[in-house]
């Protein structure tokens, strides 16, 4: 009888894990995670930024260790900007790629406007001044994000 209880317990536990995995896979495109900045080596002159799309971008440092401007790739997908917050150095370039089927924009009132970005197309902007730049899609105002530019 104890063996049957153990077997039933294991089966229930296995079903719970399978249900959690299916739920995660079904809704994973709706979950937003911020970009991660990971030093490649403790003494190295390169830092790698990994976006949630899996795209890696390198930022180089000078001999003194000061970071230099870099490039980052952001996705427009699942009716949102991913990641929705990114921090870059002045002089860095951000490139947005529309991975949705609908047309979107990257619009920061008074700062920049991509115009229409159709499905599969990209648009880039180089930030030449420090500040926080909130932006949205002019067609879908609930799509909001921001870029923080530091000196």
Query: How many Å apart are CA 9 and CA 52, to the nearest integer?
Result: 36
Predicted confidence (pLDDT) per residue in 68-110, tens digit = 778 999 999 999 999 999 999 999 999 999 999 999 999 999 9
Predicted confidence (pLDDT) per residue in 14-33, tens digit = 666 666 665 555 554 444 44
Continuous segment of H or E residues that includes residue 4: helix 2-27
Query: How many Å apart are CA 129 and CA 114, to the nearest integer?
Result: 18
Residue 72 burial (C-beta neighbours within 10 Å; 0-12, 13-18, 19+): buried
DSSP class of 28: G
Residue 6 φ then ψ, to 5°: -60, -45
Is the pTM higher than 0.75? The answer reads no
* Residues facing residue 149 across a β-bridge: 88, 131
Query: How many Å apart are CA 72 and CA 58, to the nearest integer?
Result: 8
pLDDT, mean over the chain:
76
């Amino acid at each position: 009888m104890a063996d049957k209880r153990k077997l039933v317990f294991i089966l229930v536990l296995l079903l719970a894990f399978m249900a959690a995995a299916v739920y995660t896979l079904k809704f994973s495109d709706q979950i937003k995670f911020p970009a991660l900045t990971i030093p490649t080596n403790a003494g190295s002159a390169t830092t790698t930024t990994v976006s949630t799309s899996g795209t890696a971008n390198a930022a180089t440092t000078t001999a003194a260790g000061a970071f230099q401007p870099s490039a980052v790739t952001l996705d427009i997908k699942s009716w949102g900007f991913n990641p929705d917050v990114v921090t870059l150095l002045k002089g860095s370039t951000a490139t947005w790629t529309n991975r949705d089927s609908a047309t979107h924009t990257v619009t920061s009132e008074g700062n920049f406007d991509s115009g229409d970005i159709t499905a599969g197309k990209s648009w880039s902007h180089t930030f030449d001044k420090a500040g926080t730049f909130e932006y949205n899609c002019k067609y879908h105002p609930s799509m909001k994000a921001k870029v923080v530019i530091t000196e």
